[in-house]
């Protein structure tokens, strides 16, 4: 198991390297998942991003199914399904099937963000007569009701809960977020909460707010907080910062309205030198050696009162990305399964 005091997990966005392809990125995700499984990481979550040349995980439940087949122990889930794009019943059916195929290993992480620009979000709608409102709390309540068979008897969809293909097999359901709304909702529903620290920055007050709002449920007796943090580890600090330059350039370009594949560090360092950007608002990256990253990550966990952290990064070099996760596993005294 990973670490005696802190569990480590992985959030994978399936980065597409400049000069590579989406297919290659998806194969790389399978290789990283297998490595995480061997190293003793606790969870492996897959993100949802649309219409970008940088990230291949557009439909995470498809990749999730492949990762389940390629691994044997690690929990596998979504970080997350963007529920505003989905029918709650469709999500319930899909994850009922996945939970039945891999009992006790499937997580369903849910978010409200579009995972895309407004035009792409509109393209994802089935009904395009008008832009769909974001009704995440109502959608989440409906989704939970399918798994719990808790829709009122006079609800037009009440009978559908009995038709879920996985029967009694259910995923573990998480709320993902970087705002007070998500913290309040997760707490009120008695669901575990994943704070997107790599997006929101240092916001331990969200964990405090979640715990204050928490009401025990049939799923969870006490609050559970997971923190997702940006971590790039390498043998030297200079190497780690060089590797991290790829994502710095990619995000800087994104803020300028240009979407690009993940650039090579050589190209990124030259561009960043000529165009020194301010760091992306909210990002609080951990970049450096094993010792530096371990200590910084432990401080993050302590601030949030979390006993589990989820590591995320976007690198051009797949081998370096694998090595970053090896370094962190070793830093927390992982034992290969």
pLDDT above 90: residue 194 = yes
Q: Please state which of the ranges 78-87, 130-139, 209-218, 309-318 shows the lowest mean pLDDT.
A: 130-139
pLDDT computed for residue 115 by the predictor: 53
pLDDT computed for residue 22 by the predictor: 97
pLDDT computed for residue 112 by the predictor: 87
pLDDT computed for residue 5 by the predictor: 73
pLDDT computed for residue 133 by the predictor: 65
pLDDT computed for residue 135 by the predictor: 86
Q: What is the mean pLDDT of residues 184-202?
A: 96
Neighbouring residues of 133: CB distance < 8 A, sequence distance ≥ 6: none
pLDDT above 60: residue 214 = yes
Report percent pLDDT > 70 for the chain: 90
Report percent pLDDT > 90 for the chain: 84
Q: And the tokens for 102? A: 């891999």
pLDDT above 80: residue 117 = no
d(CA 142, CA 115): 21
pLDDT computed for residue 280 by the predictor: 57
pLDDT computed for residue 284 by the predictor: 82
pLDDT above 80: residue 114 = no
d(CA 71, CA 145): 30
Q: What is the mean pLDDT of residues 232-261?
A: 96
pLDDT above 90: residue 193 = yes
For 299-320, how does the pLDDT look when each residue is reduced to its tens digit (9 = 90+)?
A: 999 999 999 999 999 999 999 9
How large is the angle between the packed helices 180-189 and 136-148, nearest 10 degrees?
A: 20
pLDDT computed for residue 34 by the predictor: 98
pLDDT computed for residue 2 by the predictor: 42
Place of tokens 């008695």: 190
Residue that wins the pLDDT comparison between 4 and 131:
131
Nearest of 31, 38, 29 to residue 1 by alpha carbon: 38
| CATH of 7-235+283-331 among 2.40.50.140, 3.30.450.20, 3.10.20.90, 3.20.20.30 | 3.20.20.30
pLDDT computed for residue 132 by the predictor: 63
| Residue 187 and residue 257 in contact, taking contact as beta carbons nearer than 8 Å | no
Mean pLDDT taken over the chain: 92
For 156-180, how does the pLDDT look when each residue is reduced to its tens digit (9 = 90+)?
A: 999 999 999 999 999 999 999 999 9
Nearest of 21, 49, 18, 79 to residue 249 by alpha carbon: 18
Given pLDDT bands bounded at 50, 70 and 90, which one contains residue 124? low
Q: Please state which of the ranges 48-52, 115-119, 139-143, 248-252 shows the lowest mean pLDDT.
A: 115-119
pLDDT computed for residue 4 by the predictor: 44
Q: And the tokens for 118? A: 């407004």
For 81-112, how does the pLDDT look when each residue is reduced to its tens digit (9 = 90+)?
A: 988 888 999 999 999 999 999 999 999 999 98
For 9-40, how does the pLDDT look when each residue is reduced to its tens digit (9 = 90+)?
A: 999 999 999 999 999 999 999 999 999 999 99
Domain ranges across the chain:
7-235+283-331
| Residue 201 and residue 185 in contact, taking contact as beta carbons nearer than 8 Å | no
> How long a stretch of residues is the chain?
337
């Amino acid at each position: 198991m990973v670490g005696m005091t802190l569990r480590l997990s992985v959030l994978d966005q399936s980065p597409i390297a400049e000069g590579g392809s989406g297919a290659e990125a998806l194969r790389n995700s399978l290789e990283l998942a297998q490595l995480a499984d061997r190293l003793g990481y606790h969870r492996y979550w897959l993100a949802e991003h649309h219409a970008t040349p940088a990230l291949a995980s557009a439909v995470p439940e498809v990749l999730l199914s492949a990762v389940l087949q390629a691994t044997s122990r690690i929990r596998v889930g979504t970080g997350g399904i963007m529920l505003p794009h989905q029918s709650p019943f469709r999500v319930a059916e899909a994850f009922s099937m996945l939970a039945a195929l891999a009992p006790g290993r499937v997580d369903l992480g849910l978010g409200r963000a579009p995972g895309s620009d407004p035009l792409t979000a509109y393209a994802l709608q089935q009904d395009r007569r008008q832009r769909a409102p974001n009704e995440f709390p109502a959608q989440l309540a409906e989704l939970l009701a399918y798994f719990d068979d808790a829709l009122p008897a006079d609800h037009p969809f009440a009978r559908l809960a009995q038709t879920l293909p996985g029967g009694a097999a259910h995923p573990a359901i998480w709320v993902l977020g970087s705002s007070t709304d998500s913290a309040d909702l997760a707490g009120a529903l008695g669901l575990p909460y994943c704070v997107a620290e790599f997006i929101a920055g240092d916001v331990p007050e969200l964990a405090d707010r979640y715990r204050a709002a928490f009401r025990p449920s049939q799923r969870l007796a006490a609050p559970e907080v997971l923190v997702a943090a940006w971590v790039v580890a390498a043998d030297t600090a200079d190497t780690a910062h060089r590797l991290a330059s790829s994502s710095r350039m990619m995000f800087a370009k994104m803020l300028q309205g240009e979407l690009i594949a993940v650039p090579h560090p050589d190209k990124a360092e030259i561009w960043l030198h000529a165009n020194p950007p301010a760091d992306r608002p909210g990002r609080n990256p951990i970049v450096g050696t094993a010792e530096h990253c371990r200590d910084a990550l432990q401080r993050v966990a302590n601030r949030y009162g979390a006993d589990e952290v989820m590591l995320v990064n976007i690198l051009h070099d797949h081998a370096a990305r694998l090595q970053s996760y090896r370094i962190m596993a070793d830093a927390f005294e992982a034992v290969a399964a």
